Amino acid sequence: MDKLIERFLRYVSFETQSNSSVAHCPSTEGQRVLAEQLKNELIELELCDVELDENGYLMARLPSNVDHDVPAIGFIAHMDTAPDASGKDVKPQIVENYQGGDIALGVGDEVLSPIQYPDLNKLHGHNIITTDGTTLLGADNKAGVAEIITAIAYLKANPEIKHGDICIGFTPDEEIGRGANLFDVEKFGAKWAYTIDGGPVGELEYENFNASSADVICHGVNVHPGTAKNKMVNAMNIAAQFQLSMPAEETPECTEGYEGFYHLVAMEGGVAKTELHYILRDFDGESLERRKTFMQERVDELNSKLEKGRVELKITDSYRNMREMVEPHAHIIELAKEAMVECDVKPLIKPIRGGTDGARLSFMGLPCPNIFTGGYNFHGIHEFITVEGMEQAVKVIVKLAEKAASSNE
């Protein structure tokens, strides 16, 4: 455990934001730089089959130390951080033995407040790692990377803990939805795996949103404003009409739990053409289809009212709810729950209000639930993680490796 935080603080110093506008993989060079560093560390740990491929996927294996056949299991984390906030020059701070109240971030006026983030009220006495208020922290998912490597190092140092083959995978570009695109499941070699990419202690997730993206393209007519009467059609006004036709209560800021949403994530354009970019999310596949239909109906209605100009809709499916692929393998959920309980962690079964490499991998033949890292408020300057939560994640990984070796599956 003494190396856990050292590893984490070292990893967050690497700038690894992914970039959706770049087609190649990994989408940023910083991810490859971190992958090379991790490759060297895995080699130093004397793991087998350490390989970093041309697309930035890093895999390795800790060989079984039992003399009978047991299932190979895997642990997976992603190396990139989200594009939503800067991941450059991350300057973390450790608040020891937190006793409540606001936590000042850096030298400015930015604070981490229990009024805004009530979870802090449950963390008195914990050691909390925060940002300096100018960048994200990178616990999503460098905490997962550090926890996996620390657990593997612990297993290496304690051979009396029996385990089968442990497969390790670190992926690029998860934050832009491509983390599983080029993942070689057969080469990875695990019968099932766990992504270590969740939030607060105890989280265990095996269902996620069904996801689609929707582009609403509004076409106007641009004419010199001095002679525009009865000629100009402002595409931005058309776009505003469309957005106002969408249900205001079905947005991320108004939903929780199993509630789906429409989320306007970006808009761009001018008088002649304006584009609205949405993401659609729902846990139920049929409900997601209804959301697509609803948007098409709004487009059709708006087009029927327009004398000039027009609107078009383009929808792209992204990923599906992994529940249907994981539930037939209920023992891997039970194994994780048992491992948590044996580590004095209360399992918190909840849906992922987002996506995960595990969703795609589950449909690629590798059932892959998600386990906590101990972090909070991912993707922004108020991101933080507890030392204690990270330590508990390591213990759960070790216990899972041990329990899988006695599994009958």
Q: Which residues are annotated as catalytic?
A: 80, 174
Tokens 């059709």 correspond to: 300
Bridge partners, 203 (sequence order): 348
Per the DSSP assignment, residues forming a β-bridge with 193 are: 74
Beta-bridged to residue 74, according to DSSP, are 167, 193
Which runs of consecutive H residues, i.e. helices, occur in 23-138?
A: 29-44
Dig out the tokens for 351 from the structure: 């849906």
Q: How far is CA 262 from CA 44, 149, 250, 336, in A?
A: 47, 38, 6, 33
Calculate helix-pair angle for 4-11, 139-157, nearest 10 degrees: 140
Residue 267 identity: M
The residue whose two tokens read 């289809």 is: 289
Residue type, 95: V
In the DSSP assignment, the letter for residue 118 is G
Angle at CA 194, nearest 5°, toward 188 and 196?
110
Pairing mode of beta strands 370-372, 192-198: parallel
CA distances from 242 to 233, 301, 386 (A): 15, 10, 43
Single-letter amino acid, residue 222: N
CB crowding 242-267: b at 16 or more within 10 Å, else e? bbeebeeebeeeebeeeebbbbbeeb
Beta-ladder partners of 60: 168
Residue 367 to residues 36, 172, 205, 359, Cα–Cα distance (Å):
27, 19, 12, 8
